[in-house]
Amino acid sequence: MLFKPIRLSLLTQIALLLALVVIISTFLVSLLFSSMIDEMIESYMGKQAMTVAKLAAQNEGIIHAFNEQNPTDTMQPIAETIRKTTGASYVTIVNKKGIRYTNPNPDSIGKHTATSNDASLLKEQSVIYKDTGVSGPAIKAKTPIWNEQGNVIGVSSVGFLLNDIEDQAAAYRIKIIQLAIIPLTIGIIGAMVIARRIRKIILGLEPEEISSLFKEKQATLESIRDATIVINTHNQISSMNKKARLLFGDQTIQKGYAIKEEKLQALLREVLTFKEERVNQTIVFDNQLLIADLSPFLQNGQTEGVVLTARPVSEVEKLAEELSQIKAFSDNMRAQNHEFLNRLNTLYGLLRLGQYERAIQLISQEVQERQDVISFLVSSVSDPVIAACLLGKVNRSKELQVQLNIDIESSLSVSLTAGESQQIVSVIGNIIDNALEAARAYNGKEGKVSVSFTDFGKDIVFDIEDNGAGIPAHMEEVIFKEGYTTKTGENHGIGLMIVRHALQKLEGDIYMDKSQLGGTRFTIVLPKKGALYGND
């Protein structure tokens, strides 16, 4: 291109636009006032001319002079006096034939008028009009002159030349222009101030940059895998991403929706008041149980709203279950490694000491013990996932040096779906882990845990008891709340919450009582519904 287009910044565009608007407005107002002044002056001068004309027409000296041999001698001084006194451009007295008796220009006296006298003037009528005469364009007034008998004897004609009027109008226009400079200056300065303020508000960004940033923000928001909702200070939803729309449904939760849940409202008030985030909060929103993080966003030190990031508890539980399985597998491997290492060290010592019979006896005992546990679980528990879980807990008990006894009368032959067995593992796995740790913490190597189960009748029942310190009655409801724990360190307080939600899905119940071992007994009751009926 030969000429490159000039790109003006937003500040310059706004300033130019506002200045142009002010200039045009000032020009139009000045033009309007100028036009109004012209009209007002013409109207005023016309009335003034008529007043002067009637003043001359009623002058007795002028009326009597019409009967004299030379009327001009008497009329001219009187007419000139009236003209000079009133500021008129001319005062002319003419007879019925249109012959001038008076005129500021003596050469025009005795001659016919340049404009004919309208016959209406001789019919007792007065007129005001704009016309061009010998002296030039003027605003004129004409009125008939009556004698004492009531007859028209002449015409009084008075005019104000437009040149004189224009000089006066020009003086008014100059004053208008001078006054217009004040609002024009204020307007231009105001335009610059407003433009700078707008630029400050939009952080000095140009429209193209704002559009680009908005698109980036939208793309970033939509790409977040968690449901993200922006809530304003009135507890109304300002925006939400794709995940949130899919989770709650476009028809249910939309922009402008007012938050109604009391707990969520309380959390929003806390975040807005203290300007601090709240993380891992369990809330109910749109009849869904969620784990949410709430963070304030500020502008000029003031809280403008809250960003809520939420995940369904089911997703968190699923992840926790997967982590629990990995942890269980890791614990089992570590426990087996630890146990076998102890056994190998013992065997090594017996062999080095030549105690071959004792070594063979130890091997036989170990193999028999494990074989007995495996054989019992295979024969008594039809679901392999639950059997594997129990076997893992046996290995875990050996690592913790806590005695874990599984009642040999126990039996679980009901057929389960993969989902049901997974939920049951989440329940009994967490309860047994807590029992082992409680027994270990309270009794050390004398810790004991007992497990029994049956599916006889309409329910599946698990009994898990320990000889730990026990749980006080007033704490029975508290322990199932998220985050509650008696352990030190992080990442605790979620196990029993998972148990509670798993039981809700299985429509089961859990009861706590004093254990015969001295600690706590947990009784888990699961109704055999649907697939849970199995072979029963």
**DSSP category for residue 413:** -
- For residue 522, which of 484, 496, 498 has the smallest C-alpha distance? 496
Token couple for 81 = 């006096």
Contacts 24+ apart (CB under 8 A), 65-69: 65/101, 66/95, 66/145, 66/147, 66/153, 66/154
What gap in Å lies between CA 323 and CA 426, rounded to an integer? 11
Q: What is the DSSP string of 456-478?
A: -SSEEEEEEEE-SS---GGGTTG
Domain boundary among 312, 346, 374: 312
Question: How far are the Cα atoms of 88, 202, 264, 308, 310 from residue 276, in angstroms, in the given order?
Answer: 85, 26, 15, 13, 17
Q: For helices 313-352 and 384-400, give the axis angle rounded to 10 degrees.
A: 60
Is there a contact between 483 and 278 (Cβ–Cβ < 8 Å)?
no
What gap in Å lies between CA 112 and CA 98, rounded to an integer? 5
- For residue 105, which of 121, 92, 114 has the smallest C-alpha distance? 92
Strand partners, 322: none
pLDDT at 331: 63
Are 21 and 112 in a shared domain? yes
Are 34 and 75 in a shared domain? yes
Q: Which of 106-110, 245-249, 310-314, 405-409 has the highest mean pLDDT?
A: 405-409
Q: How many domains does the chain have?
A: 3
Residue 25 pLDDT grade (very low, low, confident, very high; cuts 50, 70, 90): confident
| pLDDT tens digits, one per residue of 414-440 | 888 888 888 888 889 889 988 998 899
- For residue 519, which of 436, 450, 403, 439 has the smallest C-alpha distance? 439
Q: Report the range of poorest mean pLDDT among 186-195, 367-376, 435-444.
A: 367-376
| pLDDT tens digits, one per residue of 34-79 | 777 777 777 888 888 888 888 888 888 888 888 888 888 888 898 8
CA dihedral of 17, 20, 22, 25, whole degrees rounded to 10: -120
Is there a contact between 159 and 53 (Cβ–Cβ < 8 Å)?
no
pLDDT at 126: 83
Are 268 and 324 in a shared domain? no
Residue 465 pLDDT grade (very low, low, confident, very high; cuts 50, 70, 90): very high
Cα 330 from chain centroid?
47
E strand map for 134-287: 136-146, 152-161, 227-232, 237-240, 278-285
| pLDDT tens digits, one per residue of 329-346 | 666 666 556 666 666 777
pLDDT at 345: 72
As a whole number, mean pLDDT of residues 307-325 equals: 69
**Is 3 within a domain?**
no
pLDDT at 134: 61
pLDDT at 525: 93
Are 290 and 341 in a shared domain? no
Are 281 and 408 in a shared domain? no
Amino acid identity of residue 270, one-letter, is E
As a whole number, mean pLDDT of residues 276-299 equals: 80
Is there a contact between 80 and 101 (Cβ–Cβ < 8 Å)?
no
Question: Is a pLDDT exceeding 70 seen at residue 478?
Answer: no
Are 60 and 150 in a shared domain? yes
Tell me the pLDDT of the chain averaged across its residues. 78
pLDDT at 117: 52
**Is 86 within a domain?**
yes
CATH number where 276 lies: 3.30.450.20
Torsion-angle region of 151 (φ positive above 0: left; ψ -120 to 50: alpha; else: beta):
beta
Is there a contact between 255 and 237 (Cβ–Cβ < 8 Å)?
yes
CA angle 359, 362, 367 (to 5 degrees): 125
pLDDT at 1: 44
Question: Is a pLDDT exceeding 70 seen at residue 536?
Answer: no
Are 296 and 338 in a shared domain? no
Strand partners, 110: none
**Is 23 within a domain?**
yes
Question: Is a pLDDT exceeding 90 seen at residue 208?
Answer: no
As a whole number, mean pLDDT of residues 228-239 equals: 84
Strand partners, 465: 450, 521
**Is 220 within a domain?**
no
Token couple for 319 = 């992840």
pLDDT at 193: 80
Domain boundary among 124, 142, 168: 168
Strand partners, 520: 514
Strand 227-232 relative to strand 302-312, pairing: antiparallel
Residue keyed to tokens 């034939």: 97
pLDDT at 337: 63
As a whole number, mean pLDDT of residues 180-194 equals: 76
As a whole number, mean pLDDT of residues 20-26 equals: 76
Question: Is a pLDDT exceeding 50 seen at residue 243?
Answer: yes
Residue keyed to tokens 């970033």: 220
**Is 184 within a domain?**
no
Q: Report the range of poorest mean pLDDT among 24-33, 112-121, 217-226, 227-236.
A: 112-121
| 140 or 1, greater pLDDT | 140
As a whole number, mean pLDDT of residues 399-408 equals: 87
As a whole number, mean pLDDT of residues 186-204 equals: 75
**Has this prediction a pTM greater than 0.95?**
no
Structural domain of 361: 316-533
Are 160 and 61 in a shared domain? yes
Are 473 and 359 in a shared domain? yes
Question: Is a pLDDT exceeding 90 seen at residue 353?
Answer: no
**Is 290 within a domain?**
yes
Q: Report the range of poorest mean pLDDT among 34-48, 304-318, 358-372, 475-489.
A: 475-489
**Is 191 within a domain?**
no
**Is 459 within a domain?**
yes
| 463 or 162, greater pLDDT | 463
- For residue 294, which of 309, 305, 282, 272 has the smallest C-alpha distance? 309
Are 270 and 410 in a shared domain? no
* pLDDT > 90: percent of the chain: 5
Q: Which of 163-167, 202-206, 276-280, 449-453 has the highest mean pLDDT?
A: 449-453
Are 129 and 245 in a shared domain? no
SS3 label, residue 449: strand
Count the neighbouring beta carbons within 10 Å of the beta carbon of residue 354.
Answer: 9
Which helix (H) or strand (E) segment holds residue 190: the answer is helix 162-201
Residue keyed to tokens 């893992």: 392
Is there a contact between 66 and 56 (Cβ–Cβ < 8 Å)?
no
Domain boundary among 279, 312, 345: 312
E strand map for 162-264: 227-232, 237-240
pLDDT at 483: 46
Are 141 and 249 in a shared domain? no
Torsion-angle region of 116 (φ positive above 0: left; ψ -120 to 50: alpha; else: beta):
beta
CATH number where 432 lies: 3.30.565.10
| pLDDT tens digits, one per residue of 126-137 | 888 877 766 667
